[in-house]
Amino acid sequence: MSSQSVEIPASDEIAAECLGVKVPMSQYLHENRIERINSAEYEGQEIRGSLHVVGEEDVVLEIGAGIGLVGAVVATNCLPKAVHSFEANPELIPEIERLYRVNGLEGVISVRNTVLLSAADRPDSIQFHLRNSYLGSSLVEAAGRIRKTVDVPTASFAEVCADLKPTVLVMDIEGGEQELLRHADLSGFRAVVLEFHPKAYGIEGMRECKKILTDAGFERVNEKSTRTVWTCVRPA
């Protein structure tokens, strides 16, 4: 899935490039972020972990697409069968889709403005809190100025997994991972790349998340992990 032959419209000014993925200019990019994207340090640990575990036979479930870069880098460099991304922030969806289009990735990666929930008593929609920085927007109503709260449709994590049959989970959802992991069946995944957010649920909450992963049979890949970002796999 090469992006070199894609003709980029003049209106899609390219602000940065990361591992072969062109990133169009948008309101979400500033000088520092552009530098970090160019140096592959923006979401760098998640990218390095994903590149380590994803292969051509995989179907990737990405929960929390952000600006779309991590999923696009995986789609471009790992050539998986498919990447299915879910992003709660409705304001990011047009920019994510533009990034996919600019890089000619529409055939392998897609995004839905949907929140995946694993609990049995799932509501049809859930409140999502938008802050001035999209990086701080979250399902968790933590301290800090909330710019706007929106209702986002939900879907069942179990039903999505049954339908898409993903083999690798990549997740960065600003604190929502604790609740999802508590009720999630992870048996279909052979690898997980996950960012923890102890500011949202404390050190004990992070330990709980890590215990859920290890109890589910995953082992941390030490050279691709940090205290707050784990790349983990099931032993062969």
List, for residues 80-97, the tens digit of each pLDDT value: 999 999 999 999 999 999
Tell me, what amino acid is at 144?
G
pTM of the model: 0.92
pLDDT computed for residue 56 by the predictor: 98
Domain boundaries, the chain: 14-233
Is residue 6 over pLDDT 50?
Answer: no
Residues 16/29, Cβ–Cβ less than 8 Å: yes
Residue of 151, 172, 146, 214 whose CA lies nearest to 67: 172
Q: What is the mean pLDDT of residues 62-77?
A: 97
Element (H, E) at 181: helix 177-183
Is residue 71 over pLDDT 80?
Answer: yes
Average pLDDT over the chain reads 92
Domain 14-233 sits in CATH 3.20.20.140: no
Q: What is the mean pLDDT of residues 131-155?
A: 80
* Number of other residues whose CB lies within 10 A of the CB of residue 2: 10
* Of 14-28, 40-54, 56-70, 141-155, minimum mean pLDDT range: 141-155
**Cα separation of the two ends of the chain:** 28
Q: How far apart are CA 8 and CA 4, in angstroms?
A: 10
CB neighbour class for 69 (10 Å; exposed up to 12, middle 13-18, buried from 19): buried
The residue with greater pLDDT, 199 or 21, is 21
Q: How far apart are CA 140 and CA 122, in angstroms?
A: 16
pLDDT computed for residue 9 by the predictor: 53
Is residue 2 over pLDDT 50?
Answer: no
Is residue 143 over pLDDT 60?
Answer: no
pLDDT computed for residue 11 by the predictor: 64
* Of 9-18, 29-38, 224-233, minimum mean pLDDT range: 9-18
